[in-house]
C-alpha cells in the first residue's frame, strides 16, 4: 500500500484522518531505530497541532502538546523556575514519542520519563477524545503504549522547583570495583552512567551528575577513578562541543541532565542503537556476560552506556515492577553486522529477565513472558482501537 503523510492542524482534523484510514501511525521526532513508528497507510505528523506549554504551579504540573520536544520544554520550565525529574541523553525527542517507548535517563531514584506523566489526552482509533488521569482505570497501560491506542495530543507531567546540577567525568574505574560495589557506585550521585567498549582493562568513563542542592558525596576520585581535567565525548574522536558542560561547572538541570546539547547535532549521527533493561538484581551477572562477548562486539560497537532506572507500575514499561540496569549499545551503521551480534547478547541477557528498549533494535521478543500485564494491554488496545488502525506490524509482533 502506498503511504500517505498528513499534518492535521486541529483535533477535529486529526480525528477525521484517523477514522478515514485503515492503518494509522503518529510520528514523534522520529528518533526510534526500528519499525515501531511504521504504518501501512497513513503517517501523521504533529507539528501543526498546538505546542502550548501550560504550567500549573499549584498542581505542580505542566501540560504540553505531545509533539513538543524535551529541549524546548526544559528551557521554558527552567525559565519559569521549574524542572522535570530527569531527561534522556538526547533532548531533541518529543514528549509523547519518548513516553510511548519508556525512554529513560539515569539514576537509582529516577523512574523513566513516562513516570512523570499525570495525565494524557488522546484521540483514539474511533476518533474519540479521551482523557486519562493517574489513578484512572487503564491509565497505567495507556502511558507507555507504543502508539497503539491513538494519538496523544496533550501530556501533563509532574514538575518540581528548578535545581542546579554539576557533572564530572572520571576515567579508569576498575571492573572489580564495579562488581563489588555496584550499589555504592550507582547510588553515589543523582545520575551515574558508565561508558565502556567492554574490552578495556577498566571502565573508560564514569559520567556523574550531582544535584547542587544535595550534599556532595563524590570527592576528587570516584571509587579509584580519576577526575577528567578536560571535557570529553563518550565516543573517542567525536566533537566534545556536542556534549553538555562538564568539569563540575554548576548549571540548570535543563543544560546538564541530557548528555547532548539541544543546539548541536546529537551523538554520532550515522548509528544504530540497542538497549536491554535487566532486573537490577542481575546487574553484575549481565555485565560479566557482555564483557565475555567483548571481542565479538569490537567491529560494530561505538560505545556502551550502563545506567540504572527505578521501578514503576506502568504495564509496558521496561522497568515495570523492578529496578533495572540498562545496557545500551551504540552501534556503527552496519545492519548485517549488528544483526550478527544481537543473538549472542540476547542469549546472555534474556535468561536474566532482560527487556529490550521499545524504540531500539532487538531480535527476540516474548512480550507475554516479559510483561505480566500484556493481556490487559491487549484489552485496552481493543477498546481504544477496535478497528486495529494503530496496530502496525511492530504492535502485532508485541501482542503475539
Ligand X SMILES: Cc1cc2nc3c(=O)[nH]c(=O)nc-3n(C[C@H](O)[C@H](O)[C@H](O)COP(=O)(O)OP(=O)(O)OC[C@H]3O[C@@H](n4cnc5c(N)ncnc54)[C@H](O)[C@@H]3O)c2cc1C
| Nearest distance in Å: CB 209, ligand X | 13
Q: How far is the CB of 32 from ligand X (least distance, A)?
A: 3
Closer to ligand X at the Cβ: 127 or 172?
A: 127
**If phi over 0 gives left and psi between -120 and 50 gives alpha, with beta otherwise, what is residue 309?**
beta
Closest distance between ligand X and the C-beta of residue 272, in Å? 10
Which cell numbers hold the place of 11? 483535533
- 342-381 residues near ligand X, rule: CB under 6 A: 357, 359
Residue with Cβ nearer ligand X (232 or 307)? 307
Contact 49, 8 (CB under 8 A): yes
Query: Does position 17 bind ligand X by CB under 6 A?
Result: no
Q: Residue 227: which of 172, 186, 174 has the closest Cα?
A: 172
Nearest-approach distance from CB 295 to ligand X, in angstroms: 26
Give residues 173-202 in contact with ligand X (rule: CB under 6 A): none
- Give whichever of 31 and 166 is closer to ligand X, judged by the CB atom: 31
Q: Strand pairing of 42-44 and 24-26?
A: parallel
> Residue 131 CB, nearest distance to ligand X (Å)?
14
**Shortest Å, Cβ 36 to ligand X:** 4
Q: Is 121 in the site for ligand X (CB under 6 A)?
A: no
Element housing 130 (H / E): strand 129-133
Applying CB under 6 A, does 8 fall inside the site for ligand X?
no
107 lies in the site for ligand X, by CB under 6 A: no
| Residues 327 and 306: beta-carbon distance below 8 Å | yes
Q: Are 154 and 14 in contact (CB under 8 A)?
A: no
The three-class DSSP label of residue 25 is strand
User: Which grid coordinates belong to 147?
Assistant: 502508539
Asked whether the beta carbons of 112 and 102 are under 8 A apart, the reply is yes
Residue numbers at the binding site for ligand X (CB under 6 A): 25-32, 36-37, 46, 66, 88-90, 93-94, 96-98, 100-101, 103-104, 146-147, 151-152, 266-267, 273, 357, 359
Amino acid at each position: 500500500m502506498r503511504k500517505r503523510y498528513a499534518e492535521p492542524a486541529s483535533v477535529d482534523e486529526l480525528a477525521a484522518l484517523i477514522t478515514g484510514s485503515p492503518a494509522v501511525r503518529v510520528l514523534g521526532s522520529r528518533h526510534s531505530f526500528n519499525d515501531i513508528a511504521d504504518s501501512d497507510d497513513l503517517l501523521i505528523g504533529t507539528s501543526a497541532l498546538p505546542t502550548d506549554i501550560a504550567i500549573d504551579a499549584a498542581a505542580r504540573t505542566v501540560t504540553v502538546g505531545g509533539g513538543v520536544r524535551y529541549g524546548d520544554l526544559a528551557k521554558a520550565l527552567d525559565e519559569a523556575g521549574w524542572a522535570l525529574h530527569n531527561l534522556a541523553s538526547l533532548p531533541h525527542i518529543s514528549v509523547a514519542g519518548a513516553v510511548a517507548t519508556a525512554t529513560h535517563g539515569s539514576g537509582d531514584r529516577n523512574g523513566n520519563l513516562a513516570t512523570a506523566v499525570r495525565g494524557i489526552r488522546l484521540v483514539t482509533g474511533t476518533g474519540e477524545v479521551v482523557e486519562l488521569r493517574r489513578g484512572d482505570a487503564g491509565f497505567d497501560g495507556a502511558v507507555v503504549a507504543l502508539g497503539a491506542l491513538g494519538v496523544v495530543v496533550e501530556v501533563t507531567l509532574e514538575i518540581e522547583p528548578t535545581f542546579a546540577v554539576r557533572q564530572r567525568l572520571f576515567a579508569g574505574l576498575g571492573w572489580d570495583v564495579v562488581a563489588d560495589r555496584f550499589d555504592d557506585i550507582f547510588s553515589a550521585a543523582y545520575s551515574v552512567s558508565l561508558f565502556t567498549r567492554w574490552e578495556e582493562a577498566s571502565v573508560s568513563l564514569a559520567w556523574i551528575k550531582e544535584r547542587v542542592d544535595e550534599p556532595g558525596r563524590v570527592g576528587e576520585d570516584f571509587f579509584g577513578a580519576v577526575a577528567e581535567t578536560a571535557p570529553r565525548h563518550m565516543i573517542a574522536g567525536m566533537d566534545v562541543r556536542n556534549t553538555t558542560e562538564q568539569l563540575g561547572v554548576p548549571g540548570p538541570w535543563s543544560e546538564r541532565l541530557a548528555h547532548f546539547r539541544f543546539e548541536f547535532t546529537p551523538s554520532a549521527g550515522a548509528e544504530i542503537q540497542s538497549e536491554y533493561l535487566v532486573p537490577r538484581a542481575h546487574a553484575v551477572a549481565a555485565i560479566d556476560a557482555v564483557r565475555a562477548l567483548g571481542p565479538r562486539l569490537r567491529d560494530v560497537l561505538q560505545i556502551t552506556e550502563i545506567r540504572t532506572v527505578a521501578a514503576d507500575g506502568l504495564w509496558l514499561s521496561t522497568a515495570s515492577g523492578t529496578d533495572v540496569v540498562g545496557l545500551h549499545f551504540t552501534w556503527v551503521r552496519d545492519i548485517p553486522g549488528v544483526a550478527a551480534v544481537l543473538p549472542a547478547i540476547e542469549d546472555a541477557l534474556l535468561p536474566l529477565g532482560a527487556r529490550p528498549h521499545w524504540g531500539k533494535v532487538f531480535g527476540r521478543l516474548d512480550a507475554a513472558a516479559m510483561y505480566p500485564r500484556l493481556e490487559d494491554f491487549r484489552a485496552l488496545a481493543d477498546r481504544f482501537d477496535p478497528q486495529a488502525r494503530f496496530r502496525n506490524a511492530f504492535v502485532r509482533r508485541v501482542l503475539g
